[in-house]
Amino acid sequence: MANSNHRAGSTTERFSQVGFIIAAIGSSVGLGNLWKFPYITGENGGAAFFLLFIVCLILVGLPVLLAELAIGRSGRASAASSFVRLGGGPVWRGAGLLQVLTPFLILSFYIIVVGWTLHYSILAFSGQLFANDDFGSTFTAFSSSYWPLIWQAVSMVLVGWVIAKGVSAGIEKFNKILIPAMAVLLVLLMIRSLTLPGASEGVSFFLQPDFSELSPESALIALGHAFFSLSLGMGILMTYGAYVDKRQSLGTATVAIGAGDLIYALIAGLIIFPTTFSFGIAPDEGASLVFIALPAAFSAMPLGWLFGGLFFVLLAIAAITSAVSILEVPVAFAKEQWGWSRTRSVWTVAVICFLFGVPLGLSNGLVPGLMIGGRNLFDWIDFITSNILLPLIGVLIAIFAGYRWKNVAEASGLRSSWFRLWLFSLRYIAPILMLFVLLYTSGVLRL
């Protein structure tokens, strides 16, 4: 990348200090917090798992998060080039490219789910969702119609529109409006769920510590989720890091982002379990939790259309602010690599990503035959990215910052005692634990 384009291409766009933290929280708070975290916590020993999750966040998540930010800010380039700019050779160019490919693949299926949340917001507010009690069939009928495809396109246009406005007028402004709105919705829904009859049973399931449920497997699940939840390994924080002011404390930002992610996850659990338990509905995870189990609970409560509608808006906000952050990664790459304008980069990437996602969306319902080895295309891309590419990139980032990068101390801006702890994690804890996660999630290691 020694062309003039690249040299001239040092990013000049910047976040404000607060804007950056809010945008990073917007990225980290996503479907992972709302439809995955509560369930895996409830299944793996409640508060015991929550504590384990916090330990993983501190030992591995935050160190890698800080490494991504520091690399991004020092490289002032796209996620594909920062390693190289900081002294990495061709192998690191490959690692950088992987960091751009992975978010592209994730966005191709995540944007489909963004579309589902928008569709369900409208269904709930219009009351149509509650016209029929069989929420499983409603979801199947929706999945096998053309609607998901239309919503997929609408969602991509929406996310592209935000990114096209730029870092400060687009990403930052959008998050500054939506993240506080999301906080209000969360608190409102939490109050509603905690005041339902029998809510305490749900709270106990979520938070009562049961250390006997913890296993080595829970540790790997907690670690993998800490990583996903902070949006690590997706090139996002490296790309955002390139827009961070040089006076901003990265250590403080890291802690603020981690705390924000944790608080939003905790409140999500305090909404989901009291709601499902109060109506005797088995909590599930993923799509069946939010599109089947929760609508059943909302339909049974007074003003369910309102609370259900607000819940889907909450979900849509969480998903869109994450999708915005991930689209910026390939867009920053396209701008840098081909010298395109932001607008051209956004719409080129958005169209290609949408087209790539069409068969994935179809494989979910309309064309059920789009399967390979018992898994549909949507699930394959989810599996490959979440279980293989993300932990692999995590290992690479820790190795780069821990062993390869000469300027790491200065770039981190940490005081020497914190720096030593950070480097210790990057050298000895994060890469080894992430390697275990990789072996476990890819199916090589069985527990």
Would you say 82 and 249 are in contact if contact means Cβ atoms under 8 Å apart?
no
Is 363 a binding residue for ligand PFF by CB under 6 A? The answer is no
Instruction: Quote the least distance from Cβ 268 to ligand PFF, whole Å.
Output: 10
Instruction: Quote the least distance from Cβ 386 to ligand PFF, whole Å.
Output: 9
In the complex with ligand PFF, which residue's Cβ is closer, 86 or 232?
A: 232
**Calpha distance 424→91 (Å, rounded):** 24
In the complex with ligand PFF, which residue's Cβ is closer, 290 or 323?
A: 323
**Calpha distance 115→136 (Å, rounded):** 18
In the complex with ligand PFF, which residue's Cβ is closer, 229 or 376?
A: 229
∠ CA 318-103-351, nearest 5°, is 90
DSSP class per residue in 99-150: HHHHHHHHHHHHHHHHHHHHHHHHHHHTTGGGGSS-HHHHHHHHHTSSHHHH
Would you say 363 and 201 are in contact if contact means Cβ atoms under 8 Å apart?
no
Is 31 a binding residue for ligand PFF by CB under 6 A? The answer is yes
Would you say 16 and 247 are in contact if contact means Cβ atoms under 8 Å apart?
no
**Calpha distance 199→45 (Å, rounded):** 18
Listed ranges 179-187, 228-236, 273-281, 345-353: which one lies at the site for ligand PFF (CB under 6 A): 228-236
In the complex with ligand PFF, which residue's Cβ is closer, 81 or 386?
A: 386
DSSP state of 248: S
∠ CA 343-344-349, nearest 5°, is 105
Would you say 26 and 325 are in contact if contact means Cβ atoms under 8 Å apart?
yes
Listed ranges 86-94, 103-111, 205-213, 246-254: which one lies at the site for ligand PFF (CB under 6 A): 103-111
CA of 361: how far to CAs of 366, 407, 422, in Å? Answer: 8, 44, 41
Binding mask 304-323 for ligand PFF (x = CB under 6 A): ------------------xx
In the complex with ligand PFF, which residue's Cβ is closer, 287 or 367?
A: 287
Count of residues engaged in binding ligand PFF, rule: CB under 6 A: 16
Amino acid at 94: G
Is 278 a binding residue for ligand PFF by CB under 6 A? The answer is no
Instruction: Quote the least distance from Cβ 145 to ligand PFF, whole Å.
Output: 24
Would you say 194 and 157 are in contact if contact means Cβ atoms under 8 Å apart?
no
CA of 214: how far to CAs of 51, 218, 357, in Å? Answer: 11, 6, 37
Beta bridge mates, 375:
372
Of the candidates 157, 122, 117, the one whose C-alpha atom is nearest the C-alpha of residue 316 is 117
In the complex with ligand PFF, which residue's Cβ is closer, 74 or 239?
A: 239
Token reading at 313: 């808006």
Is 228 a binding residue for ligand PFF by CB under 6 A? The answer is yes
In this structure, what are the phi and psi dihedrals at residue 394, rounded to the nearest 5 degrees? -60, -45
Beta bridge mates, 372:
375
Which listed residue (171, 244, 326, 396) binds ligand PFF by CB under 6 A?
326
In the complex with ligand PFF, which residue's Cβ is closer, 326 or 399?
A: 326
In the complex with ligand PFF, which residue's Cβ is closer, 67 or 408?
A: 67
Buried b / exposed e over 243-278, threshold 16 CB at 10 Å, is bbeeebebbebbbbbbebbbebbbbbbbbbbbbbbb
Instruction: Quote the least distance from Cβ 397 to ligand PFF, whole Å.
Output: 16
Is 231 a binding residue for ligand PFF by CB under 6 A? The answer is yes
Which listed residue (106, 164, 331, 334) binds ligand PFF by CB under 6 A?
106
Instruction: Quote the least distance from Cβ 305 to ligand PFF, whole Å.
Output: 26
Listed ranges 28-36, 158-166, 298-306, 409-417: which one lies at the site for ligand PFF (CB under 6 A): 28-36
Is 239 a binding residue for ligand PFF by CB under 6 A? The answer is no
Is 385 a binding residue for ligand PFF by CB under 6 A? The answer is no
Which listed residue (11, 28, 193, 412) binds ligand PFF by CB under 6 A?
28
Is 27 a binding residue for ligand PFF by CB under 6 A? The answer is yes
Is 116 a binding residue for ligand PFF by CB under 6 A? The answer is no
Instruction: Quote the least distance from Cβ 178 to ligand PFF, whole Å.
Output: 14
Of the candidates 263, 253, 342, the one whose C-alpha atom is nearest the C-alpha of residue 24 is 253
Residues making contact with ligand PFF (CB under 6 A): 27-28, 30-33, 106-107, 110, 228-229, 231, 322-323, 325-326
